[in-house]
Amino acid sequence: MSATVSVLSEQTTNPLNSSMLSDIQSGRLEALSAQEILTWSIKNFHPRIILSCSFGNPEGLVLLDMMHRIEPSSRVYVLDTGRLHQATYDLIDRVRDRYDKNVEVVFPEAQAVQTMVNEHGMNLFYESLEKRQLCCRLRKVEPNRRFLANLDAHVTGLRREQNVTREEAPKVEVDSDGRLVKINPLVDWSSDDVWTYVRANSVPVNRLHAENFPSVGCGPCTRAVQPGEDPRAGRWWWESPDTKECGLHVDDEADGSGI
C-alpha cells in the first residue's frame, strides 16, 4: 500500500466554527480537488467525521482509499439493512483485511423492523411507493440519523450525474439543522473518473459490478442493467426516476418525497 501521511499532529477537537462556516459559505471549497476537500475535512473534523459507504458503489471505496491515505485512522461505516447481497458482506470483510480498518456496522432498530414486517409482509416494498419508503426509512434513514447525531461531519460518494435529484449537490454543505456537515468530494467526477481511480489504485469493489450491477443496494431492490440503460435503472426499477432516493441524501423527507 502507498505511503500515508497523518494530519492529526496539529489537530484538536474541532466543532463547526466561524472559520469553517466561512470556508463553506464562500464557495471556496468548490474549487478544491477531492483529495484537497478530504484533507480539509479530516483536518477540521477527525475523529468526529466518518465516511458513509454502502459497499455497493465504487465511489465509496474510492473515498475510503483516499481517506485512508490521508489519515489511516479515518472512519467508515455501513448501514446493514438486513437485506444486503452476500457480495456486499464479503466486500466489507475484504476491506477490513486490506486496510486493517474497523468498518463500523449500523443496524436498524429490531423492534421497528419486526413490527413493519409482521404488519406488511417480507416484501412490502413492491406493493407501493409508500411501503417502499417505509422500509427505507426504518432500515436506512432512521438508523443513519441516529448514528450521525453524535458526529460533526460525514462524507458521501454522491455525484451530480447520478440522478436528477443530485444535479445541484455542492461539495460541502451544512444540513438543515445547521449542525452536521456533509462532504461530497466526488460531485463533479464522471463515472470514468471513478473507474480510472479504482483501476490505478487497485481499490476493492463489489464483485456484482462485473455482473452488470452498476449500483448494488439491497438484494430485493437491485437488479442488473442492460447495455445502454441508465446506471441507476437497476435500483427500484419499478419506480419513476424522481422518486429513486432512499432518503439518506434528502434533507427533509417529512412528506415522504425522495425516501
Catalytic residue IDs: 246
Decide whether 139 or 182 has the Cβ nearer to ligand SF4.
139
- CA 48, 202, 9: angle at the middle one, nearest 5? 30
Supply the minimum distance, in Å, between the C-beta of residue 242 and ligand SF4: 17
Instruction: Decide: is 140 part of the binding site for ligand SF4 (CB under 6 A).
Output: yes
Q: Looking at 32-40, 59-67, 184-192, 213-221, which segment touches ligand SF4 (CB under 6 A)?
A: 213-221
Supply the minimum distance, in Å, between the C-beta of residue 59 and ligand SF4: 18
Instruction: Decide: is 141 part of the binding site for ligand SF4 (CB under 6 A).
Output: no
Q: Are strands 49-52 and 75-79 parallel, antiparallel or unpaired?
A: parallel
Site string for ligand SF4, 112-131 (x = CB under 6 A): -------------x------
Cell reading at 33: 480537488
Instruction: Decide: is 247 part of the binding site for ligand SF4 (CB under 6 A).
Output: no
Residue 182, beta-bridge partner list: 154, 173
| C-alpha–C-alpha distance, residues 189 and 62, integer Å | 11
Tell me, what amino acid is at 92? I
Instruction: Decide: is 57 part of the binding site for ligand SF4 (CB under 6 A).
Output: no
Per the CB < 8 A criterion, the answer to whether 216 and 56 are in contact is yes
CA 236 to the chain's CA centroid? 17
When computed from its CA atoms, the radius of gyration of the chain, rounded to whole angstroms, is 18
Supply the minimum distance, in Å, between the C-beta of residue 213 and ligand SF4: 14
| Cβ density class 2-33: b for 16+ within 10 Å, e for less | eeeeebeeeeeebebeeebeeebeeeebeebe
Among 66, 103, 246, 248, binds ligand SF4 (CB under 6 A): 246
- CA neighbor of 142 nearest in space, from 132, 134, 150, 153: 134
Among 216, 221, 225, 248, binds ligand SF4 (CB under 6 A): 221
Largest pairwise CA distance in the chain: 53
Supply the minimum distance, in Å, between the C-beta of residue 76 and ligand SF4: 20
Cell reading at 149: 447525531
Q: Looking at 18-26, 29-37, 70-78, 132-140, which segment touches ligand SF4 (CB under 6 A)?
A: 132-140
Among 70, 78, 218, 248, binds ligand SF4 (CB under 6 A): 218
Instruction: Decide: is 217 part of the binding site for ligand SF4 (CB under 6 A).
Output: yes
Instruction: Decide: is 160 part of the binding site for ligand SF4 (CB under 6 A).
Output: no
State the number of binding residues for ligand SF4 (CB under 6 A): 13
Q: Are strands 181-183 and 153-155 parallel, antiparallel or unpaired?
A: parallel
Cell reading at 60: 465509496
Binders of ligand SF4 in range 173-202 (CB under 6 A): none
Instruction: Decide: is 81 part of the binding site for ligand SF4 (CB under 6 A).
Output: yes
Interface residues toward ligand SF4, by CB under 6 A: 81, 83, 125, 132, 135-136, 139-140, 217-218, 220-221, 246
